[in-house]
Structure 1
Amino acid sequence: MTNPSPRPTRAQQRHQTEARILTAARQMFAELGYDRTTIRAVASAAGVDAGLVMHYFGSKDQLFSRAAELPADQLHMGTPEQVAEALLTSLANRLDSEPVASLAVLRSMLTNTDAAERYRAAAEPQLSQITAAIPTADAEIRASLLSAIVHGVIIERYLLRLGGLANAAPEQIIDLLRPCFQTLATPPQPPSASRPAADA
Structure 2
Amino acid sequence: MSAVSGTTRDAKRARTAQRILEAAQEEFATHGYKGTTVRAIAERAGVHASLVMQHYGTKADLFAIAVQLPKDNPQGAKDHLMDVLDVRLGELPPETRALVRSMLTSPEAEASVRTFLDERVNNLEQSFEGDDAQVRALLAVSSILGLTIAQHFLKLSAFDDVPHETLVKAAHAWLSAKT
- TM-score, normalised by the number of residues in structure 2: 0.56
| Deviation (angstroms), 1:146 | 0.2
User: Identity of counterpart residues, as a percentage?
Assistant: 22
Corresponding position: 1:133 with 2:127: yes
Residues in 1 aligned to 2:161 and 2:67: alpha-carbon distance in whole angstroms? 27
- Give the alignment partner of residue 115 of structure 1, picking from 109, 113, 117: 109
Which gives a bigger RCO, structure 1 or 2 (Cα 8 Å, sep 6+)?
1
Corresponding position: 1:105 with 2:102: no
- In the superposition, relative to structure 1, how do residues 75 and 88 fare at CA in structure 2: closer, same or farther (>3 Å)? farther
- TM-score, normalised by the number of residues in structure 1: 0.51
Residues in 2 aligned to 1:179 and 1:152: alpha-carbon distance in whole angstroms? 18
Q: Which residue number corresponds to residue 74 of structure 1?
A: 67
Cα distance per residue 1:8-36 (max 9 Å; x no partner):
xxxxxxxxxxxxxxxxxxxxxxxxxxxxx
> Is there any run of 5+ residues in structure 2 with no aligned partner, and where?
1-62
Corresponding position: 1:170 with 2:134: no
| Deviation (angstroms), 1:76 | 4.5
| Deviation (angstroms), 1:75 | 5.7
Greater fraction of residues in helix: 2
Are the counterparts in 1 of residues 78 and 175 from structure 2 also a CA contact under 8 Å? Answer: yes
- Give the alignment partner of residue 88 of structure 2, picking from 63, 84, 94: 94
Q: Which residue number corresponds to residue 148 of structure 2?
A: 154
Residues in 1 aligned to 2:113 and 2:151: alpha-carbon distance in whole angstroms? 18
Corresponding position: 1:124 with 2:118: yes
Are the counterparts in 2 of residues 131 and 142 from structure 1 also a CA contact under 8 Å? Answer: yes
| Deviation (angstroms), 1:81 | 2.8
Are the counterparts in 2 of residues 88 and 178 from structure 1 also a CA contact under 8 Å? Answer: yes
Runs of 4+ displaced beyond 6 Å: none
